[in-house]
């Protein structure tokens, strides 16, 4: 288990940012579902959020191969996973199995809702950007247009909308939600 960095959250707790291990998959899946249910309330239909299952999230993570160069890191607070970020080569949006290797992408960044605003997200995005900067001149990410909280967070991290737009249909849903791409030069 390799530690990328350590830092303090806003209340002075030491948080370690380290590589994901097999033992982390179930807690990460539970955190992912909880973050979706709280963070996307009012954006993604309630029936879709209510149907989310951490066991399915964990099974998908275990069976899906990540592209070459992709990684997931976790924020570990004394043995408790309080956040994670996944990142790697930029996806060609409509073709999730094709990649634009001229840029990196943050695929996901989620923090336990009880820790929102406490600095864990800042540590995670900094670790992801630092790792991507070693291989790419630019970092991108996609965010639901109506997710204003996340958009403010990304803007504080130096990212901005770059004009690219798509529609996202959440798993188990039938609504196409507008999403926008944010980017930031790294070099």
The verdict on residue 176 lying in a domain is no
Residue 122's pLDDT is 95
Residue 93's pLDDT is 65
The verdict on residue 167 lying in a domain is no
The verdict on residue 45 lying in a domain is yes
How far apart (Å, rounded) are the C-alpha atoms in residues 35 and 87? 18
The verdict on residue 184 lying in a domain is no
The verdict on residue 26 lying in a domain is yes
- What are the angstrom distances between the C-alpha of 103 and each of 91, 113, 159, 171? 9, 29, 14, 26
**What is the side-by-side strand order in the sheet with 3-8?**
3-8, 14-19, 71-77, 80-92, 95-111, 138-144, 177-185, 160-168
Residues of the chain with pLDDT below 70 are 1-11, 93-96
Residue 138's pLDDT is 96
The verdict on residue 110 lying in a domain is yes
Kindly report the number of other CB atoms within 10 A of residue 28's CB atom.
24
pLDDT tens-digit map of 122-143: 999 999 999 999 999 999 999 9
The verdict on residue 183 lying in a domain is no
Residue numbers of the domain that contains 83: 3-141
Residue 140 tokens, joined: 């991108």
Residue with tokens 């709280």: 38
The verdict on residue 182 lying in a domain is no
Residue 2's pLDDT is 61
Residue 98's pLDDT is 76
Q: How many domains does the chain have?
A: 1
Residue 102's pLDDT is 86
CATH number at residue 18: 3.40.630.30
């Amino acid at each position: 288990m390799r530690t990328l960095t350590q830092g303090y959250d806003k209340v002075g707790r030491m948080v370690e940012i380290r590589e994901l291990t097999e033992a982390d998959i179930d807690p990460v899946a539970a955190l992912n579902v909880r973050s979706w249910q709280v963070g996307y309330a009012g954006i993604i239909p309630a029936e879709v959020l209510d149907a989310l299952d951490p066991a399915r999230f964990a099974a998908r993570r275990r069976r899906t191969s990540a592209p070459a160069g992709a990684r997931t890191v976790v924020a570990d607070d004394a043995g408790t996973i309080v956040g994670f970020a996944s990142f790697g080569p930029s996806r060609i949006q409509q073709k999730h199995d094709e990649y634009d290797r001229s840029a990196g992408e943050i695929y996901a960044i989620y923090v336990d809702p009880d820790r929102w605003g406490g600095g864990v997200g800042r540590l995670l995005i900094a670790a992801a950007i630092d790792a991507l900067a070693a291989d790419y001149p630019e970092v991108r990410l996609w965010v639901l247009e109506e997710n204003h909280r996340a958009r403010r967070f990304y803007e504080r991290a130096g990212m901005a909308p770059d004009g690219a737009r798509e529609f996202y249909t959440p798993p188990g849903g039938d609504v196409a939600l507008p999403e926008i791409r944010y980017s930031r030069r790294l070099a």
